[in-house]
Chains A and B, each alone.
Chain A
């Protein structure tokens, strides 16, 4: 327990360095907040130092059990610390809303409680985007890459944070190298994304902001109208491309980079399924929206559906149109896709395409067994055979996932929110997508919620980002028994 606090302390000290980015921005744009970021950074470093120094004697190798506790604590604590600059810079912001905003940033949800984003100081705006970026690949993965303290413990942490059912696949023998490799690929692609956005017509600040937000599949924007503000087809196309890249497994990107060839993608059945599902979805919903008469011309419908559907399905959550006003089939379909589309090891959320495929194949296997009771059929994804214990883990995950959705939706309903808003808010938050429907739809935001409702949504985001298990295991009595 105290060993966990010790590592947590060093993590906080490391995290204090991240305030350099908004601090420099503040100096460039002279928005007068530079000192606030110094205060926030000092506070972070000081609390880290206290935690680290007082528990130094208890330092030891982390066990797998410590991993869950550490990861959950780290995410809550980092979100807490990240509220400091928001509270200092935005007068009248309540702590509840600040925490929601910070958690939404780190968990790459992209739901906001702020309006008049254009008028926020640039440094605060960039801080929101930076939170996305750190949370996208994972703050723990970053810590494992940078701090050499963890050893095997690093693997336990990595497993507790990284999304997806198959976590034993290391890219390199040492866990720190794996973490470094993932962050290197992530950082390079972010630079590419920023450059492409600038070429497509954004100014540098907007490009950096949306580069961070897009690669992390976050969804924060520095305009109330989100990407709709630019009304530019080329920007939308660039964003779609990078959302798709980020929704794929970063291990694949790393292997492709290492082999200097695109061969690695050819065998990626998960990405193939994603692209297939998205293509069908975009075409179908476009046709539906067009025939319902929302848009006069099909190409216009296709453009708007393609962007908004891909944005929501990949759990990014940008918007260019108020799609909540489209006939209800379309927005519900888009929201449901956000549960399934993202790949294992991507920066997105949801159940993940891999799990969906496993469940689907498992269901087919059961059907086959009805016809041939003696048949021996492995669950196969592409050429990869999925072991039975993973199939069971996937089943358990999906059960817990939907149970969580139901419980949290009821919590919102009990607090007096209407059904559509409650359900869509929980789905959007647990998938780390962002905008829901109803009062939390793309045209408005989460500002209208009560404090209680905001906290429920914050919890949903945390559960979604840590894929439920890492958090729920802390609530089991067995975890705390010696």
Chain B
């Protein structure tokens, strides 16, 4: 697939990395900053074009005429919208994805019109944007889920939120810890859950009914949304629901998170360094207490009773500051601390260290992007463990012609998956079925897979191509 990425910022760079890694994609990146581009081209096998992303001339140079997809990820919503529209009108680019941050745009879906099935340069009463992503919104929702499930490292949705995949660290005190997985049936007989993968010391462990869950394991399981809590109690001592949340950084994500949390009657405090910004967000929040100060100021934290905070979230623009203030908060007695960290190397350093959860915004965003790029009928992709593993929701199609399908009509254990990949659940006519070894896959099922090693993703996708 020929893909043009507009903007070489954090998200743009991550997208380029992920997309160019797959052999079938030809990636061109457009940005104004020449140094950024040169650096990027030295690292990955892509083409770069320097210039204004919305300009027809630049888009033409980037090969928009032959491109299958354009992904507008510049930091300006307006440039993204115009670039998509220009690409459609002048070059007829089929798929156009734009990053739109401002809620004032996303509140009005009528602004964006999907051009699917239309012929260019057909015009509509809106911008020709097939899909819009809002990284901030996605990240906020992600953090909110983490707060809802104390102890979870990662929570991702499938089938419109009816099932969730949860990653967490198993700890002593969990009912299942020290016992084989099959014991879960005796503990909670009504609940249908499935352990998707276990990572011990960073290495994937083969999961079977006899596998024993050990203290310190990183466990991924899938279950219906309403059962998540009871399954989590199997893995670690259940914790009380989160009440008091302290957020460091009143930027876009911090503000949105505070708004969501105060709706759910949490006690929220936001620490913002910039006085004007603090004032502005205080006007937009109701019960939240906005503090003007430095999140790394020990006295301020103590004074605001950090020791009784259930969750401390460091969400400023500076990842180093996030890590340090989260560590400080932990030292001062915050129960659970999270930090927004963009560099994958930092995220790895932080996990299982003094910071409980490292949130990497790009892996949250990249998943929704990957779903549009992947071949086959991939509905959803979630990047897990800092991009090393993936959870995929894909559609199983009945085979065309005489060749029998390698998936449909077979039982789960008969599908020949690459190493480390497993089918964990099936969504059929809106109902979620946990995958057991004898479950038969039918045509048009949505199959949810866990792929422990990202390198095998292409093999999995090929399997599902009819």
Q: Among the listed A155, A168, A387, which residue makes an inter-chain contact with B45, where contact means beta carbons less than 8 Å apart?
A: A155
Kindly state the interface size class of chain B when it binds its partner: 10 to 19
Chain A residues, Cβ within 8 Å of B41: 155, 168, 170
Chain A CB within 10 A, most for which of B38, B41, B43, B63 = B41
Q: Interface readout for B15-30 with A: 1 if CB under 8 Å, 0 if not?
A: 0000010000011100
Docked CA distance A53–B63 (Å): 41
Q: Are B46 and A173 in contact (CB under 8 A)?
A: yes
Chain A CB within 10 A, most for which of B27, B28, B44, B45 = B45
Q: Are A151 and B42 in contact (CB under 8 A)?
A: no
Q: Are B26 and A172 in contact (CB under 8 A)?
A: yes
Q: Are B2 and A173 in contact (CB under 8 A)?
A: yes
B30–chain A nearest beta-carbon distance, Å = 12
Q: Are B47 and A152 in contact (CB under 8 A)?
A: no
Given the known interface contacts A168-B48, A387-B34, the answer about A173 and B42 at a Cβ–Cβ threshold of 8 Å is: no
In the complex formed, the residue of A with least CB distance to B42 is A64
A441 at the interface (CB under 8 A from B): no
A175 at the interface (CB under 8 A from B): yes
A229 at the interface (CB under 8 A from B): no
A174 at the interface (CB under 8 A from B): yes
Chain B CB within 10 A, most for which of A151, A156, A173, A174 = A173
Docked CA distance A170–B2 (Å): 15
Chain A residues, Cβ within 8 Å of B47: 170-173
Docked CA distance A174–B2 (Å): 11
A336–chain B nearest beta-carbon distance, Å = 34
In the complex formed, the residue of A with least CB distance to B45 is A152
Chain A residues, Cβ within 8 Å of B63: 173
Q: Which of B402-457 contact A (CB under 8 A)?
A: none
Docked CA distance A156–B45 (Å): 10
In the complex formed, the residue of A with least CB distance to B21 is A151
Q: Are A152 and B27 in contact (CB under 8 A)?
A: no
B286–chain A nearest beta-carbon distance, Å = 50
Q: Are A173 and B44 in contact (CB under 8 A)?
A: no
Q: Are A174 and B26 in contact (CB under 8 A)?
A: yes
B8–chain A nearest beta-carbon distance, Å = 14
Q: Are A173 and B45 in contact (CB under 8 A)?
A: yes
Q: Are A152 and B43 in contact (CB under 8 A)?
A: yes
Chain A residues, Cβ within 8 Å of B20: 173
Q: Among the listed B26, B45, B48, which residue makes an inter-chain contact with A154, where contact means beta carbons less than 8 Å apart?
A: B45
Chain B residues, Cβ within 8 Å of A172: 26, 47
B219–chain A nearest beta-carbon distance, Å = 33
Q: Among the listed A152, A174, A177, which residue makes an inter-chain contact with B42, where contact means beta carbons less than 8 Å apart?
A: A152
Q: Are A151 and B45 in contact (CB under 8 A)?
A: yes
In the complex formed, the residue of A with least CB distance to B37 is A168
Q: Interface readout for A135-152 with B: 1 if CB under 8 Å, 0 if not?
A: 000000000000000011
B143–chain A nearest beta-carbon distance, Å = 34
Chain B residues, Cβ within 8 Å of A175: 45
Q: Are A173 and B27 in contact (CB under 8 A)?
A: yes
Docked CA distance A177–B2 (Å): 13
In the complex formed, the residue of B with least CB distance to A148 is B23
Q: Which of A112-156 contact B (CB under 8 A)?
A: 151-152, 154-156
Instruction: Add 12 more A-B contacts to A155-B42, A173-B20 (CB < 8 A).
Output: A151-B45, A152-B42, A152-B43, A156-B42, A168-B38, A170-B47, A173-B27, A173-B63, A174-B45, A175-B45, A177-B26, A387-B34
Query: Which residues of A does B touch, CB under 8 Å?
Result: 64, 151-152, 154-156, 168, 170-175, 177, 387
28 A-B residue pairs with Cβ-Cβ distance under 8 Å, sorted by A, are A64-B42, A151-B45, A152-B42, A152-B44, A152-B45, A154-B45, A155-B41, A155-B42, A155-B45, A156-B42, A168-B41, A168-B48, A170-B41, A170-B48, A171-B47, A172-B26, A172-B47, A173-B2, A173-B20, A173-B27, A173-B45, A173-B47, A173-B63, A174-B26, A174-B45, A175-B45, A177-B26, A387-B34
